[in-house]
Chain A
């Protein structure tokens, strides 16, 4: 493989409406690396994830996001996806009436042929079917899901598995998993963790946002980052993740009194 691609986040400031949420995030992820992103509720983890894929609600007020030097800020979510960005959503939405297979065939046709315009050829049906069947098999997903409407009536766990299926089919260069392990029973956590373990490798940079330890046991992070009040305040290795699981964030807040104070303030604003 040639030089691994780099996703570089520099001094990223993001607001929703007039409210600043991210206040200078720096992070570099290379293809082949696994990063864990941890931090208390409301610290800005999902905000970072959404910003990376170009959610229109999240406005970048300062800083940059680049993939191999290409600035993403001006690109819409579709263009970013075609450059290899992928988010496994914390709350995947339902698209009634759209079959999983049809959705995936369109998605894969676009991702594999980034120049494709709407209405142009899709991936050949036979090749697609085979690939879908094999991937579903591998992830222990019942073939019947291909014919169901996307996330319609899916249980929480089924939705998360569907995200992993998409990840497996689309093979992004950078995958962000936003609490893909939450709301799952322990069997499902194992399936998702093993799934990711199979998928990740030298071609994928992974950012795992999680509050649990299981996913990280199967996918040992090269780096662990802690977010507090919109900044990454600490970075360590897998041991840091372990420590936070064991002891919580009290120590982090003590070591970063300024961010802890800011966190306090926003909580007072949002909870009258």
Chain B
């Protein structure tokens, strides 16, 4: 049997704003793209999928792609590994909600604990509303405008995925669904059938974008949806760092989030994709992320997962040609009632390719955080190197950590290293810090912050600061 199949299931993704129950709908405005009367409703069937496509005014091929994906979704059994998904009721979910339907949620409906956390993190008012779903969009038009101009001059395409389908049909169709086909896994099929929003980025040959592109800068209402679809194409010798998500807890009333992220990095290109997610505790976050890295290119996933009920996410890198390098840094923090099943996949398809995985997980208050990873070396991929290090920190005896490293090697001439460690906070470390005036809580959060520091220092500054602050709050037990 092939573990790769077992592993090609969900990963996680993006933030989103909450959707509203149709009953809350009051003050919608007319949406000019809304040519047909579309009524938001729960449940998934051919009619719903066809309606989504029609609503968006998509070309026939996309409609067919969605319908075909729905068939695949219906045929595929639920994965019987990873985490407990029995709480997902596919027929009780809104698969598409018009932007106008999203208005009308009020600040009072956002749970108290989430509001308190925003305050303690010092999140600005406008951003708070956006994160909690009170507002459908984040007001950043000014930055967005000048940035966009700058990028456009260099030939960079950066838009939401729906617009990309309309505005850049050729390059879109050439890559869409080729890295992660709908048949890849049940949740990729689901996303392919009902996707909406997400980011599309094309970086032309040799263009080096020297600041991180952020999802925040886009103003599209749907870019933080439940079933986002992101496609990034980094052409030869180009370089981009994309950052999405947010460290503050993202409140969503939707229970299922299933995104797909596809990335192509052509010869000598570089791409880093940074995600920090912190879903509210009701969310199943099942995401598929995969990149194809060509000759002498570098692909890096930096992936931080906090919150959610269950996250299953194993960003993959296929090293397609000699000299390609792949790196995944992953942090998972599981608290009460949370299960983080995160990891990485590295598939060496060509000689002289190398990969590195660093995973750090923390579990606390009965939380469960695990590493699940695959390193595969295909026949003929000689002289490959792979190094996997996963460290788990368990903060109390109610909590749990698991490591599932799969290694499949069809070649002799390779160097594969795997190291794993599980630790507790040592009494001596606590004593040492406390003897310098730290409270027990402060001492533990300092140890935890230090534990993930090697990854946090890779994050853009503001994310790093927020993440550390958030971990302090989690350690104080004051975060919902």
Q: What DSSP secondary structure best describes chain B's contact surface? A: helix
Chain A residues contacting B77 (CB-CB under 8 Å) are: none
Neighbour of A95 across the interface among B432, B439, B441, CB < 8 A: B432
CB distance from A201 to the nearest CB of B (A): 21
Contact (Cβ within 8 A) B431 A77: yes
Chain A residues contacting B427 (CB-CB under 8 Å) are: 56-57
Neighbour of A107 across the interface among B426, B437, B452, CB < 8 A: B437
Contact (Cβ within 8 A) B450 A97: yes
Question: Does any Cβ of B come within 8 Å of A87's Cβ?
Answer: yes
Question: Does any Cβ of B come within 8 Å of A222's Cβ?
Answer: no
Contact (Cβ within 8 A) A93 B447: no
Q: Tell whether A95 pairs with B433 under 8 Å between CB atoms, given A118-B472, A119-B472.
A: yes
Chain B residues contacting A95 (CB-CB under 8 Å) are: 429, 432-433, 446-447, 450
Chain A residues contacting B440 (CB-CB under 8 Å) are: 76, 78
Question: Does any Cβ of B come within 8 Å of A38's Cβ?
Answer: no
Q: Tell whether A98 pairs with B435 under 8 Å between CB atoms, given A93-B426, A93-B428, A119-B476.
A: no
Question: Does any Cβ of B come within 8 Å of A249's Cβ?
Answer: no
Neighbour of A103 across the interface among B434, B435, B446, CB < 8 A: B446
Contact (Cβ within 8 A) B431 A149: no
Query: How distant is the Cα of A261 from the Cα of B277 in the complex, in angstroms?
Result: 64
Question: Does any Cβ of A come within 8 Å of B438's Cβ?
Answer: yes
CB proximity to B under 8 Å, residues A131-178: 149-150, 166, 170
Which residue, of B431, B440, B473, B476, has the highest number of chain A Cβ atoms within 10 A? B431
Chain B residues contacting A53 (CB-CB under 8 Å) are: 431, 435
Chain B residues contacting A86 (CB-CB under 8 Å) are: 435
CB proximity to B under 8 Å, residues A51-96: 53-57, 76-78, 80-82, 85-87, 89, 92-93, 95-96
Contact (Cβ within 8 A) A166 B450: no
Q: Tell whether A78 pairs with B450 under 8 Å between CB atoms, given A56-B427, A93-B429, A95-B432.
A: no
Query: How distant is the Cα of A107 from the Cα of B432 in the complex, in angstroms?
Result: 11
Neighbour of A106 across the interface among B431, B446, B447, B454, CB < 8 A: B446
Question: Does any Cβ of A come within 8 Å of B449's Cβ?
Answer: yes
Chain B residues contacting A21 (CB-CB under 8 Å) are: none
A115-128 vs B: 1/0 string, CB under 8 Å?
Answer: 00111000000000
Question: Does any Cβ of A come within 8 Å of B442's Cβ?
Answer: yes
Chain B residues contacting A150 (CB-CB under 8 Å) are: 450
Question: Does any Cβ of B come within 8 Å of A111's Cβ?
Answer: yes
Contact (Cβ within 8 A) A92 B432: yes
Question: Does any Cβ of B come within 8 Å of A110's Cβ?
Answer: yes
Chain A residues contacting B434 (CB-CB under 8 Å) are: 54, 76-78, 81
Q: Tell whether A87 pairs with B435 under 8 Å between CB atoms, given A95-B429, A118-B441.
A: yes
Task: Write the chain A residue with the least CB distance to B432.
Answer: A93
Task: Write the chain B residue with the least CB distance to A151.
Answer: B432
Task: Write the chain A residue with the least CB distance to B429.
Answer: A93
Chain B residues contacting A55 (CB-CB under 8 Å) are: 431
Task: Write the chain A residue with the least CB distance to B446.
Answer: A98
Contact (Cβ within 8 A) A149 B450: yes
Contact (Cβ within 8 A) B436 A103: yes
CB distance from B78 to the nearest CB of A (A): 38
Contact (Cβ within 8 A) A107 B450: no
Contact (Cβ within 8 A) A166 B445: no
Chain A residues contacting B426 (CB-CB under 8 Å) are: 93
B416-435 vs A: 1/0 string, CB under 8 Å?
Answer: 00000000001111011111
CB distance from B469 to the nearest CB of A (A): 9
Query: How distant is the Cα of A96 from the Cα of B421 in the complex, in angstroms?
Result: 14
B442-467 vs A: 1/0 string, CB under 8 Å?
Answer: 11011101111110000000000000
Contact (Cβ within 8 A) B431 A166: no
Q: Tell whether A111 pairs with B446 under 8 Å between CB atoms, given A89-B432, A95-B429.
A: no
Neighbour of B445 across the interface among A81, A103, A118, A149, CB < 8 A: A118
CB proximity to A under 8 Å, residues B329-385: none
CB distance from A32 to the nearest CB of B (A): 23
Contact (Cβ within 8 A) A56 B431: yes
Query: How distant is the Cα of A86 from the Cα of B436 in the complex, in angstroms?
Result: 7
Which residue, of B438, B443, B453, B476, has the highest number of chain A Cβ atoms within 10 A? B438
Contact (Cβ within 8 A) B451 A118: no
Contact (Cβ within 8 A) B472 A97: no
Chain A residues contacting B441 (CB-CB under 8 Å) are: 118
Neighbour of A98 across the interface among B439, B449, B472, CB < 8 A: B449
Task: Write the chain B residue with the least CB distance to A170.
Answer: B436
Query: How distant is the Cα of A118 from the Cα of B433 in the complex, in angstroms?
Result: 13
Query: How distant is the Cα of A31 from the Cα of B270 in the complex, in angstroms?
Result: 62
Query: How distant is the Cα of A102 from the Cα of B433 in the complex, in angstroms?
Result: 12
Chain A residues contacting B443 (CB-CB under 8 Å) are: 78
Task: Write the chain B residue with the least CB distance to A77.
Answer: B434
Task: Write the chain A residue with the least CB distance to B442.
Answer: A118
Query: How distant is the Cα of A92 from the Cα of B439 in the complex, in angstroms?
Result: 19
Contact (Cβ within 8 A) A118 B476: yes
Which residue, of A89, A96, A111, A114, has the highest number of chain B Cβ atoms within 10 A? A96
A171-215 vs B: 1/0 string, CB under 8 Å?
Answer: 000000000000000000000000000000000000000000000
Which residue, of A82, A95, A149, has the highest number of chain B Cβ atoms within 10 A? A95
Query: How distant is the Cα of A168 from the Cα of B428 in the complex, in angstroms?
Result: 22
Q: Tell whether A111 pairs with B437 under 8 Å between CB atoms, given A56-B427, A96-B451, A118-B445.
A: yes
Chain B residues contacting A87 (CB-CB under 8 Å) are: 435
Chain B residues contacting A82 (CB-CB under 8 Å) are: 437
Chain A residues contacting B454 (CB-CB under 8 Å) are: 97
Contact (Cβ within 8 A) A97 B432: no
CB distance from A88 to the nearest CB of B (A): 10
CB distance from A240 to the nearest CB of B (A): 29
CB distance from B434 to the nearest CB of A (A): 4
8 pairs of A and B residues whose beta carbons are closest in the complex: A97-B450, A97-B453, A110-B437, A98-B450, A107-B436, A77-B434, A118-B442, A81-B437
Beyond known contacts A95-B450, A106-B438: 20 more, CB 8 A cutoff: A56-B427, A57-B427, A76-B440, A77-B434, A78-B439, A80-B435, A81-B435, A81-B437, A85-B435, A92-B432, A93-B429, A95-B433, A95-B447, A103-B446, A107-B436, A110-B436, A114-B437, A118-B438, A119-B476, A170-B436
A and B contact pairs by CB, cutoff 8 A, 13 listed: A56-B427, A89-B432, A93-B426, A93-B432, A95-B446, A103-B433, A106-B438, A118-B445, A149-B453, A150-B450, A166-B436, A170-B436, A170-B437
> Which residues in B have some Cβ–Cβ distance to A below 8 Å?
120, 426-429, 431-443, 445-447, 449-454, 472-473, 476
